[in-house]
Amino acid sequence: MHATTLVQSASPVVTAAALRRALIVGARRVIAASDELNRINVFPVPDGDTGNNLAATLGAVLGGALSRRSRQVGELLEQVGEDAIDGARGNSGAIMAQFLVGLGERLRQRQVLDVDGMAVAVRRGAEAARAALAHPVEGTVLSVIEAFSSALDDAARRSGSTPRVAFAGALARARAALAATPSQMAVLQRAGVVDAGARGFVLWLEGIDDYAEGGLATLREHGGALQLGQDVGPAAHVHEDVDPARRYCTECLIAGAAIDRAALRAALEAAGADSLVIAGNAKRVRVHGHIGQPQRIFDAAASFGQVAAMKADDMLLQLRSAQSPERVAVLTDSGSDLPDALAEQYGIHVVPVRVSLDGRDYLDRLGLGVGEFYRRMQASAALPTTSQPPAGDFRRVFENVLGCQHAAVYIGISRPLSGTLQSAETAARGQARPLHCFDSGNVSAGQALLAWRAGELAAAGADLATIEQELQRLRPLTRMFAMARDIQHAVRGGRIPRWAAPLVRWTGLTPVAAINAKGELRLATGLFARAHAPEALARYVSRQVPPGLRWRAIIGHADAADDGARLLAALQARLTLTDAHCIEIGPAIGAHAGPGTLLVGLQPAPD
């Protein structure tokens, strides 16, 4: 049967080839409208990312099942659902993915699609989408899906109806339901918009209808490259508050053998998660929820299978971006050990490094608390490992901030020390607004000092060129020193040669490393400093920096709070510190340095 069967209004069936092409046009239509969907996004939180989330979800389908031919309708829809679950992002993306999973569940053995099959599949999709939500709300995409499904049910009961006629009638019903969403939800009525997720679903249906009407010509018309992160201007609707106690929009993917979604929902609710969406099947489940401590969701999920594709976006920071369109966005990664107080004060976005410990992966700080990390590190037989954030993590944050703010700068770990900067550079390609990835030539406290200064300048209204010029000036002046109290972790990890361990034991020397001009961490000296290591490090550092300057300082310690406080006090006695923060070194650095490590980052204070 010819692939354009769907175009013919009298045809009784739709082939897999025609359905695949129609779904391609539908997905591309949603992706092209992502800016519009971002602008009208006010529910459940006005974070301005519904368009990006739906685009990412359908983009995974475009790059997966829809990129290759399928022999039968059932096979195609089953693959579409699996790809959607794997790529689902956000509340809207998870609901859409669950709808697509439901479509495939009832059509597994179908070669072609008739009106009855269409009605049965969409009904199952509607039920699955509603079941994915812990607390379904009318006036959202669920109402539009229900209207679409009910219209197809009516068509299936009428004799002689064709897929084309049934679909057109159901689309009209969905459009009417979309128009009614403001009357069902006060937040939509106040903002003067329809529900963004519902609008995305109707756009998807309209794309399918476009192909049904125009055939291959429509496919070619929608075949141009479509980019995310286009210039959308500031998000207009930010009047609804995010619950500070549940500020993280958290997601993960669970792979298992027989996942009990009802039990999973109960576990997640017991963990304190809100706005829950649980989408998938018995083997793969996508979880979305809002929570104050993302690790609670990841831990609950780990009881049901292997956890992957973790993310936790700070919705309060997203709202601050939406409220500050004139400011340059400042970003860094968790390898910077940026103090929370500074990140909060200047609205600096921190992309978490990945940490692996005891066979599980974690998001640095967000997914694994610092104190818990060191306790488990001491008890573990295997060394923890770290890995750079994948480009997708950076791309998601870049899209969020550039959807609201006119430019951004990312301050990354020194290139010789990590591939994190390269990962960010990959994600930065193709962004429609200016985005600069700056090599800090540093790590941890040194990197944090540069991010601090960038955030301070951005808050004062400096433009991107001014911020980058100041970072270039400060990079060679920013110094960082590290003392490893116990080098066994660095030796086991291969960062210090094995012959160095007995040498340190025999001599009683405590090694001190420093960042050099090339951005490399190199052994600088050894100090006889067992009982008074913090004071010895302070004496050494004070001799290595120019005298008479005023300094900003970030002091870091790895599970050694008393030593960190002593180090700060000793530095204050020898140097003029205008601002100083003492922090606990996070897993990204602590995994390699080990407990007891001390860090000093210094930067000339601004005038």
Residue 499: helix, strand or coil by DSSP? coil
Contact of 255 with 229, CB cutoff 8 Å: no
Is residue 22 within 8 A of residue 211, CB to CB? The reply is: yes
Percent of the chain scored above 70 by pLDDT?
A: 88
3-class SS of residue 219: helix
**Of how many residues is the chain composed?**
607
The CA distance from 119 to 110, in Å, is 13
Fold of 5-221: 1.25.40
Neighbours of 305 (CB within 10 A): 18
Q: Are 226 and 30 in contact (CB under 8 A)?
A: no
Task: Reply yes or no on whether the pLDDT at 247 is more than 70.
Answer: yes
Burial category of 422 from C-beta neighbours within 10 Å (exposed 0-12, middle 13-18, buried 19 and up) = middle
Query: Which phi-psi region, left, alpha or beta, contains residue 192 (left: φ > 0; alpha: ψ -120 to 50)?
Result: left
435-439 and 407-412 strand pairing: parallel
Contacting residues for 185 by C-beta, under 8 A, at least 6 apart: 43, 137, 138, 139, 140, 195
The pLDDT of residue 225 is 33
Q: How far is CA 160 from CA 164, 166, 251, 607, in A?
A: 12, 10, 45, 81
Query: What is 432-490 written as a DSSP string?
Result: SS-EEEEE-S--HHHHHHHHHHHHHHHHTT--HHHHHHHHHHHGGG-EEEEE-S-THHH
Backbone angles phi, psi at 204, to 5 degrees: -60, -45
What pLDDT, on the 0 to 100 scale, is given for residue 238? Answer: 33
- Contact between 604 and 470 (Cβ < 8 Å): no
Least confident of 65-79, 237-251, 323-337: 237-251
Say yes or no: do domains 5-221 and 479-604 share a fold: no
CA dist 454 and 334 (Å) reads 16
Q: Taking each helix axis from N to C terminus, what angle separates 90-105 and 196-214, rounded to the nearest 10 degrees?
A: 50
| Residue 107, pLDDT above cutoff 90 | no
pLDDT per residue over 380-419, tens digit each?
767 788 888 888 889 889 988 998 899 999 999 999 988 8
Mean pLDDT over the full length of the chain: 86
- Please give the pLDDT value at position 500: 60
Per-residue confidence (pLDDT) for residue 478, from 0 to 100: 97
Neighbours of 499 (CB within 10 A): 8
Note whether 279 and 333 are within 8 A (CB): no
Q: Rg for the chain (alpha carbons), in Å?
A: 27
Q: What span, in angstroms and rounded, lies between the C-alpha atoms of 157 and 155?
A: 5
Secondary structure (H, E, C), 317-373: HHHHHHCCCCCEEEEEEHHHCCCHHHHHHHCCEEECCEEEECCEEEEECCCECHHHH
The residues with which 514 forms a beta bridge, in sequence order, are 481, 522
Q: What's the whole-number mean pLDDT along residues 61-90?
A: 89
Is the pTM here over 0.85, yes or no? no
pLDDT of residue 436: 97
pLDDT tens digits along 17-49:
899 999 999 999 999 998 899 888 877 766 667
- 3-state SS assignment for residue 130: helix
CATH class held by domain 241-318: alpha beta
Q: How far apart are CA 437 and CA 409, in angstroms?
A: 6
Residue extents of the structural domains in the chain: 5-221, 241-318, 479-604
Which pLDDT does position 309 carry in this prediction?
87
For the domain made up of 479-604, give the CATH fold: Hypothetical Protein Tm841; Chain: A;domain 3 (3.30.1180)
